[in-house]
Chain A
Amino acid sequence: MDNIYITRTSESPEVDFNFSNHVLNMTGESYPENASDFFRPILIGLEAYLAATSACEIVFNFQLTYFNSSSTKMLYNLFELLNESASTNDNRIILNWHHDEEDDTILEFGLDIHEDFQWLDFRPIILDNAEEA
């Protein structure tokens, strides 16, 4: 299983999906020109990894500070894949949802994800701004 690593740019996040360690990180901002082109290979890789993984603890560290509407849709699809895997393959998936204390938009999206995908172990975490800077 090939890990996925994509370097951060001004408009797309760092994606560090270390499938061998079962740790998935996404950090930065996401507003690429074509969100489905950016996310499609990530979703395909994730789907293959999840299909081959069972009875594992998987940690997803979500640390995006901004994502545009078309990225939001792709992220929703991504969490749907994780939720399916948690419900059918006996994987325990921890979703560490980092957000700025004042950022209601990202917290609300997280709460929607939590409500729609109840197999994910959703853990909201307030970003430490000092650390971020």
Chain B
Amino acid sequence: MHIDVFSAFRETADRNGILFYYSGSLSQNVIGAMGDALKQRLESQDAKGTTSRKLFSSFIEMVQNAIHYSPDDPDSKGDKVGSIAVGKHEEKYFIMCGNLVQKQHVARIREKLEPLKSMSLDEIKQAYRAQLKTDNTKDDAVSKGAGLGFLTLARDSTEPIEYALLDAPGHENELSCFYLKAII
């Protein structure tokens, strides 16, 4: 990469209010280090209390979701990889995560996320409570969490969570890039 390209990259990030950006290997160790860095960054931005807590919660849910579901990256010797960005736009914070998913899971992800877009906060909280009471070990063999991850993100976001599923360049037949965005 040339310095002028890097400079353009920085300027684009600044113009879009990016406060924190990470791209690379994802692991539980990385979560700890990034979580600390993110907390410090938010404190210096004066995001305290509820906002900071909800951003941290969204960060954990997004990264752990990426670690649990993304296949090993075919281009990086089997690591789990992903990108995460936190930024501020007009007094609101946004958090975005991008990672690979297997094509076979794309329909399932859409099924889970699509209904959340049109639900009110009360409906999301009701769905969250219903999921909490469900013995989810039986009905979803793929889910490794509690089926609460996306609902937690939707609950903490002040606007409907956005997502995109795009073909992964070079691996169009097997893999998709999965992007998630929450606003807090």
Contact = CB atoms under 8 A, between A and B. Distances in A.
Contacts, number: 62
Interface in B118-157: 125, 129, 132-133, 136, 144-146, 148-149, 151-152, 155-156
B148 A70 contact: yes
B133 A69 contact: no
Given A76-B132, A102-B50, A103-B50, A69 B148 contact: yes
B115 interface: no
B31 A73 contact: no
Nearest to B49: A102
A103 B145 contact: no
A72 B32 contact: no
Interface in A61-82: 66, 68-70, 72-74, 76
Contact of B57 (A32, A74, A105, A108): A105
A69 B28 contact: no
Interface stretch (B12-20, B60-68, B85-93): B60-68
A15 B135 CA distance: 25
A69 B145 contact: yes
B53 interface: yes
A91 B166 CA distance: 55
A3 B133 CA distance: 28
The prevalent SS among residues of A at the interface is helix
Interface in B43-60: 49-50, 53-54, 56-57, 60
Which interface residue of B36, B50, B64 has the most chain A CB atoms within 10 A?
B64
A104 interface: yes
Contacts of B49: 102
Nearest to B56: A66
A11 interface: yes
A92 B32 CA distance: 38
Interface of B: 28, 31-32, 35-36, 49-50, 53-54, 56-57, 60-61, 64, 67, 125, 129, 132-133, 136, 144-146, 148-149, 151-152, 155-156
Interface of A: 10-11, 31-35, 66, 68-70, 72-74, 76, 102-105, 108, 112, 116
